[in-house]
Structure 1
Amino acid sequence: MAATKKAKREYSPEQTRERLLLSGLKLFGRYGYKGVTTRALAEDAKVNQASIPYHFGGKEGLYRAVAEMVADDMTVVKSVFYRHAPLIFRKIGGRKALLRKVVQKSVRRIVRRFLGFRDNAADRPAFIVREYMEPGAGFDILYDRVIKNVHMALTAMVAAAFGLSEESDEAKLRAHALMGQVIAFGVARPVVLRRMGWESYTEENVDAIAGAVVEMVLGALGLKEREGNR
C-alpha cells in the first residue's frame, strides 16, 4: 500500500495519540494489520513516525489500542442492553407483549450504536468486519468485551421467544442470524447507499434502518403484533 506524504504540524500529545488512533481505525479496517505500515499510519495521521512507539510501543500496540477504543465505544450498548439482558429475558419468559417492547428498544439501540452517525462512523464497522475476516488480537479484544456478550444477550432473547434453552444450538444459531442482520448494514454499506440513493448514513437514515431491522427481528421471533391489536 503506497503511502501519500502529507504535511505535518505540531500537535499536543493528546491530539497526536487521538490522530493515530483514528488513522489506525481507518487503515487497519481497510487493509488489515499486515497490510498497514507504521509509515502509512504516521503519514495518514500527519504526525512523526516516532510517535507510534512513543505512545503505543509500536504498530501492534496501536492496533490493540484501536480495538480497545472500538470496544469502549460500545459501552452504551453494554450498559443499556447486554450486561443484564440474559436475566431480563429469563424473567420476561413467555410474556409476549413485554418481550416485544424490550426487543424493540434493545435492537434499535444496537443498530444505532453499531452504525452511528459521526464523520468516521463507517470506519468502526469496517474495523469490526475486518477482524471477522482476519481474526487477530483485535478480534480477541472485541469478542471478549463486546461480541460474546451481545451474542449471549441475543441468544437469551431467542430462548425467551421460543422457550428454548440458552445453551441449545438452535438458540445460538438463530441469535447469530439476528446478529447478521445488523452486521450486513455495515458490510454492505455501499450497496445500501446506492440502492437507497443516500450519500451517507445520517441520523434519519440510521433510524430508518433500525426500524426495518426491528420489524425483521420481531417477525423472526414471532412477536409482531396482529393488525387488530395495533
Structure 2
Amino acid sequence: MPAKRQPGRPRRSADASAETTRDRLMDAAIDLFARYGYDPVTTGAVAKAAGLTQPMVHYHFGSKSNLWKAAVDRMMRRRGQMFRNTARDLAGLDPVDKLKLLIRRLIEANASNPDYVRIAIHEGMVRSPRLKWLARTYIAPGFEVFDQAVREAIAAGAIPDMPVHDVTNAITSAASLTLSLGGLIDELYAIDMTDPERITSFSDSVVRILFDGLLARPAAVGKTAARRGTKNN
C-alpha cells in the first residue's frame, strides 16, 4: 500500500504550484506598476496579465498593496544580487575609482531591469506610505553608499567640496533615467539601450562626462588641430 501523507503536510507539487502562481502574479504586477504606476493598476489587470483569475491575487496576497510590496521586495532582492561583490571590489580603490565602479555597477543594474527606476519615478512623485517604505528599505541604503564615496572623494581633495546630496543625485540620475526611457531614446536616435555594447558605451560616456567634463582640454584641442592640418597638407 502507498504510504499515507502526514496530515497537515502540504504536497511538494502543491507548494511548487503555489510558488509558481505567486511568481507569475508578481512578475505581471511589476510590469504593470512600472508602466502605469500604482493607482491605475487593478488586481484584475494583474491577474489577466498573469493568465490567472482575480481571486488568485486575493488568495495569495490579500490586497493590491500587499501584492505591490511583495513584488517590489522580490524585484529588489534580485537586483541586490548584482551588487553582491561590490564591497569586495571596492576594497583598496581610491575615492574616485570607487565612484567610477559604483556608477558602472548602477548602470549595469538599471540596464538589466529598468522597471526599478520606472517604479521609483512613479512613487517618487507623491509622498505615500509606499514611497516611505521603498526609500527607507532599499533606496536610502544604496544612496548612502554613494554618499560615503562622495564624502571620501571630497575629503581627499579629489573632487570639489559640494553638497553631498547634489553630487549623489546628479550621479544616480545620470546613471538611471536614460535606461528607463529606452523607448524614447530608440525613437529619437534609433539606439537600442538593451544592447550590451551600447550599455558599455553609455557607462564610459557617463563616467567621462562626470569626471572629465564636456569641454575639450587645450592640449587635446591643439593636437586635434595639428592632426587636421597634417591631413590638409
Same fold (TM > 0.5): yes
For residues 31-89 of structure 1, the C-alpha deviation after alignment (integer angstroms, 9 at most, x for no partner) is 2222111111111111011111111112111011122122212313553347997xx6x
Q: CA deviation at 1:169?
A: 7.6
Query: Residue 123 and residue 172 in structure 1: after superposition, are their counterparts in 2 closer, same or farther (change >3 A)?
Result: closer
Find the counterpart in structure 2 of residue 3 from structure 1.
none
Find the counterpart in structure 1 of residue 122 from structure 2.
130
Structure 1 distance, partners of 2:126, 2:174, is 20
Range that drifts further, 46-55 or 30-39: 30-39
The answer to whether structure 1 residue 115 and structure 2 residue 120 are counterparts is no
Structure 2 distance, partners of 1:104, 1:75, is 19
The answer to whether structure 1 residue 104 and structure 2 residue 120 are counterparts is no
Identical-pair percentage? 20
Query: Residue 162 and residue 200 in structure 1: after superposition, are their counterparts in 2 closer, same or farther (change >3 A)?
Result: closer
The correspondence for 1:202, drawn from 162, 180, 195, is: 195
Gap runs ≥5 in structure 2: 1-15, 214-218, 221-233
Structure 1 distance, partners of 2:66, 2:88, is 28
Range that drifts further, 100-109 or 37-46: 100-109
The correspondence for 1:74, drawn from 71, 79, 92, is: 79
**AA paired with 2:102?**
S
TM-score (norm 2): 0.72
Structure 2 distance, partners of 1:81, 1:214, is 17
Find the counterpart in structure 2 of residue 158 from structure 1.
150
Find the counterpart in structure 1 of residue 52 from structure 2.
47
Gap runs ≥5 in structure 1: 1-10, 93-97, 221-225
The answer to whether structure 1 residue 141 and structure 2 residue 133 are counterparts is yes
Structure with more contact order per residue of length (Cα contacts < 8 Å, sep ≥ 6):
1
Range that drifts further, 104-113 or 150-159: 150-159
Does the 8 Å CA contact 2:99/2:150 hold for their aligned counterparts? no
